[in-house]
Each structure stands twice: as structure tokens, then as C-alpha cells.
């Protein structure tokens, strides 16, 4: 793609990087075939190729983003399916992140939307605020019909019951038997409130397999939620980098294990995020090199033989951040198979479920269409349960009739852990 940035513009490292990305695009349109929003809406401007043109014109112009550009960029899920499909290696993730930052700096959204985005960016990364906020939403549920549309959506999506707090404070969990590895676990933010059982299962699984697991003081949200809204996520990332490198430089660290694939995609990208920061560039690259998904770590370790009846059918939903962001497709399926499960594939598995971080709160209509499409494909598998590796997908797809569990919960159960609570509830019903 031909670009027309000025020399002054190219002095900006973000513009320079985006220009390099834009020049790789050859307009082939392969990306349109796998883009969820183009599949639903049929509008070229809601395809990666169309958005690339819009972003190019916006960045070249250098002025405020227009309402039309904002509308089409906002509709992008950042599912990154286009990057898996692209034959030219266009890094759409970095390009659309830059576009969102430009929009955030230059475009004034309507007041209700500004307030909603600020609320999400302030509350979601902070478990100490998110828990009381969800309790407040629960109390507001009887009055939801009288609330404005998106606020009503927030209330409707809040869980009816919040689980008790998990063991996610800074501490060290010793390995069972001989210690073979020492790993840090990203405790996260929203997942700690919505599903603390995921961290608990991760810790049990790792310690059972010879890992000492440390939750480092100072580590928390990875920064993805704010970063992908065009806001600054670097502060959160710096806290994590500092916390994990203290552990590495102290007692040593073999890996930083992450059990939310959206977070994993971001932490693995810390090197790029801090490429122009002289104080953090090398440190960020070091952390990115240590980062791995829990299924990557377990594939490296090797799974103990299963102790549960084999052949239970589970549909595997590959989160977009897992298959497109991190390009991990083999490990989760292989581990579930090794654990004795019969893994069922979901049709059109490359398409997003509609969760996408805060997307199902900010773009509910499209998110609901994608959810319905995904649930239909899951129904067709005949599986009684679903496994996935991202809390957003779990929240989006979970139903009382067919629970969605984190892959690590099934691996933990299969190798000696407790029956997941959702399966206990289903058996009791």
C-alpha cells in the first residue's frame, strides 16, 4: 500500500511503525473472509481491509478522527483473525491499537459513552473496586428496566452470585514433591473477582507437577483492558515488569504463567509496547520472553496420567487471543486429549464469540449476534461442556445447561483435583 506521510510525521515512532505496517498490505482481501464484523454486516468499512484504508487516511491527515472512522474502528473486535489469514504479515493488532490511541486523543465522544468508557477503565482493572461494583449491580437488577441502555447492559451482565475471594494475594505455593520449576502466576484483575477458581486450579495443577508458584507483590492487571480502549495501559505493565523481574533476580524464575489468553497476548507484546522506552525496553523484552500460557507450560512439563473416567465429551472453544493472538492451537487440544477427554471441534471456530474484552459492553448488538452464532455451533457438537482459555469467553458463553470451564479446571480435575464446581452443580440438578 502506498503511503504519503511527511518526514515530520515519520519522526514519530508510532507513525513510523504504522507506515511500515500499512506498506505491507497488498489489498488482497483474504482478511475479509475471516472477519466476524464483515461476515455479519457485509460492509467493506467493517472489514480489516476497509479499516486499514480508514486508518491510513486518518493518520496521514493527522487531524481529529471523524465520526465515521470512529464508528467502524469501534466495531472491530481486535480478534486478530485477519492476522492469521493475512499472507503478507500485516500486523493489524499494532495498527488498530495506534488508531484507537489517536481516536482517544482527538475525538470527543458523546458524554454517556465517555462516562461508560471511563467507568470500565477505572473499575475493571481493580478487583478491590470491581467486587463492590458488581454487588451494586446485583442490587440494581430489579430496577434494570428503567436504566439507560448500556447501563442496563452492565447490570444485566453482572453475575447473580459472586464467589468468595480466592488465594490470590502475594505469596508462594510450594511444589508437591521435588521442585523442578519456579514460576510466577499472573493473578489478573477481572478474573480474580468473576472466577477465582481458575487461579486455584492453576496453582493446584502446577504445584502437583513440580512447580513452585509465586504470586508476586505488585503485579496485577496486565494493561490490556485500557490499552485496547486507546487509553494508557503502560502503568499496569510497568508494575508487572518490576514485580516479575524482582522475582527473577531474587530466587529465579523459569516462566511467567498466564491463564487468561487475552492477558497473555498483551504480556507477550510488552517488548513492542516499551520499544521506545530506554528505561524499560530491555526489561519488557525479558518479561515477554518469560511469558507463557498455562497450556504452553503444561505441554513443556508433561501431564500426569488422568485419574478420571476417559471419553467425556468436551467442545473446545479456542479464544481469539489464543489462536490468533498467540497462535496456540495444538497445546490445549493435546492436553485435553491426554487428560482423557474426547475433544469436539466447533464449526467456524475462527470466528469470535463476541466477548473481546469490553466489546460485549460497548457493542452489545454485534456481540449478541456473534454469541448466538457461536452457541448454535456449540449445540451442534452435542458436548455437555465447553473448555476455553479466556475468562471473557467463559462469561460470554456460559449457560446453566452447558457450562463453560477453563481448560485448566479440567486438567486439574483429571490429574487429581476436585470436580469443578459447575459440574458439581450440574450433577446436583
Query: For residue 166, what pLDDT is reported?
Result: 77
How far apart are alpha carbons 149 and 110 in whole angstroms? Answer: 14
Identify the domain boundary among 263, 284, 299: 299
User: Is residue 100 assigned to a domain?
Assistant: yes
pLDDT for residue 144 = 66
Domain that holds residue 178: 171-299
Cα(117)–Cα(200) distance, integer angstroms: 31
Residue at 165 is within a domain: no
User: Is 428 a residue whose pLDDT tops 50?
Assistant: no
| 422 and 309, same domain (yes or no) | yes
Per the CB < 8 A criterion, the answer to whether 23 and 52 are in contact is: no
Q: What gap in Å lies between CA 324 and CA 320, rounded to an integer?
A: 5
Q: Is residue 163 one of the residues assigned to a domain? A: no
What's the pLDDT band for 426 if we cut at 50, 70, 90? low
Per-residue buried b or exposed e for 116-144, using 16+ beta carbons within 10 Å of the residue's own CB: bbeebbebbbbbeebbebbeebeebeeee
pLDDT band at 68 (very low <50, low <70, confident <90, very high): very high
CA 70 to chain centre: 22
Look at the chain and report how many structural domains it folds into: 4
CA distances, 239 to each of 221, 234, 283, 328 (Å): 9, 9, 12, 26
Last residue of a domain, one of 245, 277, 299: 299
pLDDT digits (tens, 9 = 90+) for 378-421: 999 999 999 999 999 999 999 988 999 999 999 999 999 999 99
- The whole-number average pLDDT for the span 223-234 is 90
Residue 429: the pLDDT is 45
Q: Which of 299, 325, 351 is the last residue of a domain?
A: 299
Q: What is the mean pLDDT of residues 96-124?
A: 92
**Lowest pLDDT segment from 178-192, 363-377, 393-407, 413-427:** 413-427
| Number of helical H runs and strand E runs in the chain | 25, 9
Cell 487471543 identifies what position? 321
**Band of residue 149 on the pLDDT scale cut at 50, 70, 90:** low
Same domain as 295, residue 308: no
Model pLDDT, residue 289:
97
Mean pLDDT of 288-306: 97
Model pLDDT, residue 286: 97
The answer to the question of residue 203 being in a domain is: yes
Tens digits of per-residue pLDDT, 327-340?
Answer: 999 999 999 999 99
pLDDT at 139: 74
**Same domain, yes or no: 358 and 327:** yes
Length of the chain: 429
Q: What are phi and psi of 90, to 5 degrees?
A: -70, 120
Q: What is the pLDDT of residues 245-271, one digit of tens each?
A: 999 999 999 999 999 999 999 999 999
Mean pLDDT, residues 157-171: 79
| C-alpha grid cell, residue 137 | 449491580
User: How much is the mean pLDDT over the chain?
Assistant: 92
1: in domain: no
* Percent above pLDDT 90 for the chain: 80
* Co-location of 277 and 333 in the same domain: no
Residue 194 and residue 314 share a domain: no
b/e sequence 336-345, b meaning 16+ C-beta within 10 Å: bebbbbebbe
Amino acid at each position: 500500500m502506498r503511503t504519503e506521510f511527511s518526514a515530520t510525521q515519520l519522526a514519530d515512532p508510532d507513525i513510523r511503525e504504522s507506515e511500515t505496517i500499512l506498506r505491507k498490505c497488498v489489498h488482497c482481501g483474504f482478511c475479509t473472509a475471516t472477519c466476524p464484523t464483515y461476515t455479519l454486516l457485509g460492509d467493506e468499512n467493517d472489514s480489516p481491509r476497509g479499516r486499514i484504508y480508514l486508518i491510513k487516511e486518518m493518520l496521514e491527515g493527522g487531524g481529529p478522527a471523524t465520526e465515521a472512522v470512529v464508528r467502524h474502528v469501534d466495531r472491530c473486535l481486535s480478534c486478530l483473525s485477519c492476522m492469521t489469514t493475512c499472507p503478507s504479515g500485516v500486523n493489524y493488532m499494532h495498527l488498530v491499537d495506534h488508531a484507537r490511541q489517536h481516536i482517544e486523543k482527538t475525538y470527543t465522544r458523546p458524554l454517556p459513552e465517555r462516562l461508560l468508557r471511563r467507568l470500565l477503565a477505572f473499575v475493571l482493572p481493580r478487583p478491590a473496586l470491581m467486587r463492590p461494583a458488581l454487588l451494586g449491580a446485583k442490587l440494581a437488577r430489579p430496577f434494570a428496566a428503567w436504566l439507560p441502555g448500556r447501563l442496563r447492559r452492565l447490570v444485566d451482565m453482572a453475575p447473580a452470585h459472586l464467589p468468595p475471594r480466592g488465594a490470590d494475594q502475594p505469596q508462594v505455593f510450594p511444589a508437591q514433591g521435588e521442585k523442578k520449576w519456579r514460576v510466577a502466576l499472573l493473578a489478573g484483575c477481572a478474573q480474580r473477582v468473576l472466577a477465582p477458581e481458575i487461579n486455584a486450579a492453576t496453582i493446584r495443577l502446577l504445584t502437583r507437577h513440580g512447580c513452585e508458584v509465586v504470586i508476586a507483590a505488585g503485579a496485577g492487571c496486565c494493561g490490556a483492558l485500557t490499552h485496547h480502549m486507546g487509553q494508557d495501559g503502560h502503568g499496569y505493565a510497568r508494575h508487572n515488569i518490576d514485580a516479575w523481574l524482582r522475582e527473577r533476580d531474587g530466587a529465579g524464575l523459569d516462566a511467567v504463567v498466564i491463564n487468561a489468553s487475552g492477558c497473555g497476548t498483551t504480556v507477550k507484546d510488552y517488548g513492542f509496547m516499551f520499544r521506545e522506552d530506554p528505561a524499560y525496553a530491555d526489561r519488557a523484552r525479558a518479561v515477554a520472553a518469560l511469558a507463557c500460557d498455562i497450556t504452553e507450560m503444561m505441554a513443556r512439563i508433561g501431564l500426569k496420567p488422568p485419574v478420571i473416567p476417559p471419553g467425556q465429551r468436551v467442545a473446545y472453544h479456542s479464544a481469539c487471543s489464543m489462536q490468533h493472538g498467540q497462535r496456540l492451537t495444538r497445546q490445549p487440544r493435546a492436553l485435553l486429549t491426554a487428560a482423557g477427554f474426547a475433544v469436539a471441534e466447533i464449526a467456524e471456530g475462527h470466528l469470535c464469540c463476541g466477548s473481546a474484552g469490553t466489546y460485549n459492553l460497548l457493542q452489545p448488538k454485534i456481540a449478541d449476534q456473534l454469541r448466538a452464532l457461536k452457541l448454535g455451533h456449540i449445540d451442534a457438537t452435542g458436548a455437555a461442556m465447553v473448555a476455553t482459555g479466556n475468562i471473557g469467553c467463559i462469561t460470554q458463553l456460559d449457560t446453566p445447561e452447558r457450562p463453560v470451564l477453563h481448560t485448566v479446571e479440567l486438567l486439574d480435575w483429571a490429574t487429581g483435583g476436585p470436580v469443578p464446581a459447575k459440574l458439581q452443580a450440574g450433577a446436583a440438578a
